[in-house]
Chain A
Amino acid sequence: MSPLALFRWHRPDWLLLATLLALFGFGLAVLYSASGHNMEVVLKQAVRMVVGLTAMLVLSQLRPIHLYNWAPWLFAISVALLLAVLLMGTVSKGANRWLDLGFFRFQPSELMKLALPLMLARALAQRPPPLAWRDLLQALAWMGLAAVLIIKQPDLGTAILVVASGLYVLYLAGLRRRVIFTSLALALAAMPVVWRFIMHDYQRDRVLTFLNPESDPLGRGWNIIQSKIAIGSGGLLGKGWGQGTQSQLEFLPERHTDFILAVIAEEFGLLGVSLLLFLYAVLIYRGMMIAMEASTPFNRLLAGSLTLTFFTYVLVNVGMVSGLLPVVGVPLPLISYGGTSMVTLLTAFGMIMAVAGDKPFLHR
């Protein structure tokens, strides 16, 4: 086989694929209930899943060397598009995140979620651990650029995820332990400054509400209070599919998007939540295994950081819905209604699968 061939045909990782399909089935069932038995919503989401899965399967056959080659271009395009959004994006609900391409709207920050880890993985792939200062600074500069452009929109949730993806690459590439602990300490110390000077009013509001939801029960606290009631009242086995009073009677806001986990918890109980967490755990475990078995440093860093970023998605949404973390607009990965994050995540899994298939010294 020529090393320049675009694709290397192989069977996609069956465990990842099967787990994703299981999640999707579960997700559609929940969505039907959460949307008030709206078949149109379910079908729309199903179409997105099929489109996303197809893209993922195609991508899974790609040879990662091409991702390595394309990384700088993808990064440059992402930066350019983010700039374009700032200059001429569509304003929706006070934030400027979308680029209207006429036939569809597109969030460049989503592209950055993939472009940044790709870029850093490429940059650090040839550097033996531990990470040199010069490489670290360069990587931080790229991360900073991406983060600033996204925060400007403003979209804190996405910025956190993008920065996290970059940090994972750094960590996996051998960031010195000393640096890790020092910066953690510094970050804690810097919190008051961030609070005072960097955060927007609405972000501060969210944190305050998070710390004490009862302070504003009809406004911002409403989401968290109702979400906790929904979860708690679900009990061990749940109230049954379509029987959740919290969600069916509209006490729970954003129930088919960001807060869909509360619907799962209410209608399927701890059992349903455990099943969901288990499926997520399988995806993450499998992703990390693929990373560890990967043949090149680039493949390792790519698969590892994408998997951990996926984990962060899960953590942020589950933490938010259960009242452990402040409310930032991050959907429940692969379950929440909406196409944007779905496409990004499935693309990421496509790349992880591509890494799984890239084993030059193994005869299969």
Chain B
Amino acid sequence: MQARFDTGRRKRLGQNQLSGRYFRRRAWVALLGVSLIFAGLFARFYYLQVVQYSRYSSQSEANRVRIRPIAPNRGLIFDRNGVLLARNVPAYRLEVIPEQVGHLDNLLDALAEVIPLSETDRNRVQRLRRLRRSFQPIPVKLRLSEEDLARFAVNRYRFPGVEAVPYLSRDYPMGETMAHVLGYVGHISERELARLDEKRYRGTNLVGKTGLEAYYEDALHGEPGFEEVETNAQGRVLRVLRRELPKPGKDLHLTLDAGLQQAAYEALGQHRGAVVAMKPESGEVLALVSKPSFDPNPFVTGILHRDYQALLNQPGRPLFNRALLGGYEPGSTIKPFMALAGLASGVLSADETWYSDGTFQIPGRKRIYRDWKKGGHGRVDLVQALAQSVNGFFYNLALRMGIDRIHDWLAPFGFGQVTGIDMPREKPGLLPSRAWKRAVHNSAWFDGETVIVGIGQGPFVVTPMQLAWAVNKLASRKDLPRPHLKKGTEAWPKPGRLERIPEAAWEQVQKGMVAVVHGARGSARSIGHGLPFSMAGKTGTAQVFGHKEDATDEERKVEGLAEHLKHHALFIAYAPVEQPQIAVAVVVEHGGGGSRVAAPVARDVIRYWLERQP
């Protein structure tokens, strides 16, 4: 092996020597070039450092002017009537300049005796101390209380190098009512620092973390200004030479109504759940509530680790925005949409009736699907089927339509896809289809699954936002602009499938939904008594335990069950029927049946809104 290798080399040796000589010549030329360039570089430094020394030296002496960023004021957030939802409040923060104090840890200990310092505060100081230079101030504590400020003022002489500096902090007057929509701002983390434009954020302390504060961060933030300041030789500021003021962030005007939001928040009472209200004929979101909620204000100043953990571990998960992220079975609230799909696709004729004997079977199969009422509802037409929520009617309809047509007609209402609302995160839910089952479970679709999709069960998942979006289309009878919270962002979509649904079909389904509330046998007739306006609605129940397809609305209202085992109650509604002003979706977790707890919430929200309309 070795021998062959070497002979191979020897054969090439002649050529190798030739190319070697050639190479050496070129290499020497290159080295000559390198030497010349090095001489040139040396000459450049000689020129700058020796020839021009006095010039640059005096420039350096005079170089006492430095540029400091001025953070822009963050844009304010208003509701649709100009009510202030997020504001900037003057506050004081405690800052320390490390090089002016002896031992930072000792100082913090001494300071903590005067002003309580949390672990969070201390950690931040330690982190920033490593990131910043010793003459740059580090915030020790944000938003000093009056008491802290007074205590510090008295003890100030003990702490040279520590100062209380005025600044603008963020404040959310409506607190937990708006927390899930507005989100909150907080200290810029190191991870965010890497993502943000360094130039724009040089003087900024707070950045939008969640909700609208995060979604509209770019517009809300504004453009920083600069000031040229003269410093002494140690870098300390002597005077301001020139100032270019920052451009404040743009104010954000929302479609939300603070009053309605408050009303919806209160209407939910002690329940967990979500309410979303929209304005028909538009994409405007009037209220978006998720409960339980949290106070966003501590997040602005840096929430204590302990408090944050408590929020995370609370069983109701207050940080979780149910309106956009909560996934629920639509249950019977899907029935009006199923009815429209049936009428529009021609599978269901307007005068068709169904005899409900309490059970339904796929021809040739053993499995029995039940109505919620033992013994059935008797002969019902579409209006009564909606009013009484007759499962059999819709089992039959779904079976005849088949999953493909159901999917094609429910998708235009927005099921199974994100609504596109201007919020940072949103779940798409799930509209079952043959393709979905093939992709996820790699198996074929069965008729039995189609049947239960007909009453909004099975793998079907919707978010409260999606449900409100769909109801809003139902109330408006057409495609609508993307749902949004920022005023004036309407953009009309291309007319789609909904335009092909005949007027008579909309009318008939509305009749059924009106009968839910106002009919003698309507499933939510209890809220209809004495209502000064006409309302269209539909109850629904989402299962919590098991997948008992044949369980019924009534059966699910199991009294005495542990709270966490009760089913979720759903209700969708719009009103007034003649000229809809508001469309609402309500989900009450573990509320039992849709009519008992969810429907009254929807009624209260709608009543509040209609009473305030001119």
Measured between beta carbons, the chain B residues less than 8 angstroms from A318 are: 41
Contact of A232 among B5, B57, B133 (CB under 8 A): B57
Q: Mark A215-258, 1 if CB is under 8 A from B, else 0.
A: 00010000000101111111110000000011011110000000
- Say if the beta carbon of A102 comes within 8 Å of chain B: no
Contact of B15 among A36, A128, A324 (CB under 8 A): A128
Q: Are A249 and B235 in contact (CB under 8 A)?
A: yes
Q: Mark A309-323, 1 if CB is under 8 A from B, else 0.
A: 001000100110010
Q: Are A38 and B44 in contact (CB under 8 A)?
A: no
- Say if the beta carbon of B66 comes within 8 Å of chain A: yes
- Say if the beta carbon of B100 comes within 8 Å of chain A: no
Q: With A172-B26, A172-B30, A292-B27 in contact, do A235 and B226 touch (Cβ < 8 Å)?
A: no
Contact of B27 among A1, A128, A304 (CB under 8 A): A304
Instruction: List residues 139-180 of chain A with CB under 8 A from any CB of chain B.
Output: 168, 171-172, 174
- Say if the beta carbon of A269 comes within 8 Å of chain B: yes
Q: Are B38 and A277 in contact (CB under 8 A)?
A: yes
Q: Are A129 and B60 in contact (CB under 8 A)?
A: no
Q: Are A311 and B34 in contact (CB under 8 A)?
A: yes
Q: With A270-B45, A291-B27 in contact, do A281 and B133 touch (Cβ < 8 Å)?
A: no
Q: Are B226 and A128 in contact (CB under 8 A)?
A: no
Instruction: List residues 26-48 of chain B with CB under 8 A from any CB of chain A.
Output: 26-27, 30-31, 34-35, 37-38, 41-42, 44-46, 48
- Say if the beta carbon of B204 comes within 8 Å of chain A: no
Q: Compute how far the CA of A301 lies from the CA of B24 in the bound complex, rounded to whole angstroms.
A: 11
Q: Are B50 and A172 in contact (CB under 8 A)?
A: no
Contact of B38 among A218, A281, A288, A322 (CB under 8 A): A281
Q: Compute how far the CA of A234 lies from the CA of B55 in the bound complex, rounded to whole angstroms.
A: 11
Q: Are A36 and B134 in contact (CB under 8 A)?
A: yes
Q: Compute how far the CA of A38 lies from the CA of B46 in the bound complex, rounded to whole angstroms.
A: 31
Contact of B133 among A36, A265, A285 (CB under 8 A): A36
Q: Are B55 and A232 in contact (CB under 8 A)?
A: yes
Q: Are A228 and B23 in contact (CB under 8 A)?
A: no
Q: Compute how far the CA of A234 lies from the CA of B63 in the bound complex, rounded to whole angstroms.
A: 14
Chain B residue nearest in CB terms to A225: B59
Measured between beta carbons, the chain B residues less than 8 angstroms from A37 are: 134
Measured between beta carbons, the chain A residues less than 8 angstroms from B2 are: 1-3
Q: Are A322 and B48 in contact (CB under 8 A)?
A: yes
- Say if the beta carbon of B130 comes within 8 Å of chain A: yes
Instruction: For the complex formed, measure the closest distance between the CB of B413 and the CB atoms of chain A, giving whole angstroms.
Output: 34
- Say if the beta carbon of A297 comes within 8 Å of chain B: yes
Residue of B56, B57, B226 ringed by the most chain A CB atoms within 10 A: B56
Q: With A3-B1, A297-B16 in contact, do A231 and B194 touch (Cβ < 8 Å)?
A: no
Chain B residue nearest in CB terms to A237: B49
Q: With A129-B19, A228-B56, A300-B20 in contact, do A249 and B231 touch (Cβ < 8 Å)?
A: yes
Q: Compute how far the CA of A246 lies from the CA of B61 in the bound complex, rounded to whole angstroms.
A: 9
Instruction: For the complex formed, measure the closest distance between the CB of B104 and the CB atoms of chain A, giving whole angstroms.
Output: 14
Instruction: For the complex formed, measure the closest distance between the CB of B531 and the CB atoms of chain A, giving whole angstroms.
Output: 55
Q: Compute how far the CA of A246 lies from the CA of B231 in the bound complex, rounded to whole angstroms.
A: 13
- Say if the beta carbon of A182 comes within 8 Å of chain B: no
Q: Compute how far the CA of A301 lies from the CA of B1 in the bound complex, rounded to whole angstroms.
A: 26
Measured between beta carbons, the chain B residues less than 8 angstroms from A360 are: 6, 9
Q: With A172-B27, A235-B57 in contact, do A315 and B49 touch (Cβ < 8 Å)?
A: no
Q: Compute how far the CA of A121 lies from the CA of B438 in the bound complex, rounded to whole angstroms.
A: 52
Instruction: For the complex formed, measure the closest distance between the CB of B573 and the CB atoms of chain A, giving whole angstroms.
Output: 45
Measured between beta carbons, the chain B residues less than 8 angstroms from A265 are: 45, 48-49
Q: Are B34 and A284 in contact (CB under 8 A)?
A: yes
Measured between beta carbons, the chain A residues less than 8 angstroms from B50 are: 235-236, 270
Instruction: List residues 269-312 of chain A with CB under 8 A from any CB of chain B.
Output: 269-270, 273-274, 277, 280-281, 284-285, 288, 291-292, 296-297, 300-301, 304, 308, 311
- Say if the beta carbon of A40 comes within 8 Å of chain B: yes
Q: With A284-B34, A360-B9 in contact, do A322 and B41 touch (Cβ < 8 Å)?
A: yes
Chain B residue nearest in CB terms to A322: B44
- Say if the beta carbon of B22 comes within 8 Å of chain A: yes
Q: Are A38 and B26 in contact (CB under 8 A)?
A: no
Q: With A3-B2, A270-B49 in contact, do A229 and B56 touch (Cβ < 8 Å)?
A: yes
Instruction: For the complex formed, measure the closest distance between the CB of B101 and the CB atoms of chain A, giving whole angstroms.
Output: 16
Q: Compute how far the CA of A284 lies from the CA of B194 in the bound complex, rounded to whole angstroms.
A: 36
Chain A residue nearest in CB terms to B23: A300
- Say if the beta carbon of B53 comes within 8 Å of chain A: yes
Q: Are A274 and B42 in contact (CB under 8 A)?
A: yes
Chain B residue nearest in CB terms to A311: B34
Q: With A235-B53, A249-B231 in contact, do A129 and B63 touch (Cβ < 8 Å)?
A: no
Q: With A232-B49, A273-B49 in contact, do A292 and B6 touch (Cβ < 8 Å)?
A: no
Chain B residue nearest in CB terms to A285: B31
Contact of B59 among A232, A235, A236, A273 (CB under 8 A): A232
Q: Compute how far the CA of A269 lies from the CA of B60 in the bound complex, rounded to whole angstroms.
A: 14
Measured between beta carbons, the chain A residues less than 8 angstroms from B44 are: 322, 324
- Say if the beta carbon of B52 comes within 8 Å of chain A: yes
Q: Are A218 and B23 in contact (CB under 8 A)?
A: no
- Say if the beta carbon of B154 comes within 8 Å of chain A: no
Instruction: List residues 314-357 of chain B with CB under 8 A from any CB of chain A.
Output: none
- Say if the beta carbon of B128 comes within 8 Å of chain A: no
Q: Compute how far the CA of A3 lies from the CA of B264 in the bound complex, rounded to whole angstroms.
A: 82
- Say if the beta carbon of B67 comes within 8 Å of chain A: yes
- Say if the beta carbon of B18 comes within 8 Å of chain A: yes
Instruction: For the complex formed, measure the closest distance between the CB of B599 and the CB atoms of chain A, giving whole angstroms.
Output: 48
Measured between beta carbons, the chain B residues less than 8 angstroms from A297 are: 16, 19-20, 23
Q: With A274-B42, A277-B42, A311-B34 in contact, do A230 and B60 touch (Cβ < 8 Å)?
A: yes
Q: Are B16 and A234 in contact (CB under 8 A)?
A: no
Measured between beta carbons, the chain B residues less than 8 angstroms from A236 are: 49-50, 53
Measured between beta carbons, the chain A residues less than 8 angstroms from B48 are: 228, 231-232, 265, 322
- Say if the beta carbon of B562 comes within 8 Å of chain A: no
- Say if the beta carbon of B440 comes within 8 Å of chain A: no
Instruction: For the complex formed, measure the closest distance between the CB of A217 and the CB atoms of chain B, giving whole angstroms.
Output: 10
Q: Are A319 and B22 in contact (CB under 8 A)?
A: no
Q: Are B22 and A245 in contact (CB under 8 A)?
A: no
Q: Compute how far the CA of A211 lies from the CA of B567 in the bound complex, rounded to whole angstroms.
A: 73
Q: Are A232 and B56 in contact (CB under 8 A)?
A: yes
- Say if the beta carbon of B439 comes within 8 Å of chain A: no
Chain A residue nearest in CB terms to B132: A36
Q: With A3-B1, A234-B49, A273-B49 in contact, do A229 and B19 touch (Cβ < 8 Å)?
A: no
Instruction: For the complex formed, measure the closest distance between the CB of B76 and the CB atoms of chain A, giving whole angstroms.
Output: 30
Chain A residue nearest in CB terms to B58: A233
Q: Are B130 and A3 in contact (CB under 8 A)?
A: no
Q: With A40-B130, A235-B57, A270-B49 in contact, do A250 and B23 touch (Cβ < 8 Å)?
A: no
Measured between beta carbons, the chain A residues less than 8 angstroms from B49 are: 231-232, 234-236, 265, 269-270, 273
Q: With A231-B48, A292-B23, A308-B30 in contact, do A250 and B59 touch (Cβ < 8 Å)?
A: no
- Say if the beta carbon of B233 comes within 8 Å of chain A: yes
Q: With A218-B226, A284-B34 in contact, do A3 and B5 touch (Cβ < 8 Å)?
A: yes
Q: Are B26 and A296 in contact (CB under 8 A)?
A: no
Contact of A231 among B56, B231, B235 (CB under 8 A): B56
Q: Compute how far the CA of A218 lies from the CA of B67 in the bound complex, rounded to whole angstroms.
A: 8
25 pairs, CB–CB < 8 Å, chain A vs chain B: A1-B2, A36-B133, A172-B27, A174-B26, A230-B60, A231-B45, A232-B53, A232-B55, A234-B49, A235-B50, A236-B53, A250-B66, A274-B42, A277-B38, A281-B38, A284-B31, A285-B31, A288-B34, A292-B24, A296-B9, A297-B20, A300-B23, A315-B37, A322-B48, A324-B44
10 new A-B contacts at CB < 8 Å, known A265-B45, A322-B44: A172-B23, A228-B56, A250-B133, A265-B49, A273-B42, A274-B45, A284-B34, A300-B20, A304-B27, A360-B6
Q: Sort A-B residue pairs by CB-CB distance and give the 8 closest, nearest first.
A: A232-B56, A233-B60, A270-B49, A232-B48, A3-B5, A129-B22, A233-B57, A36-B133
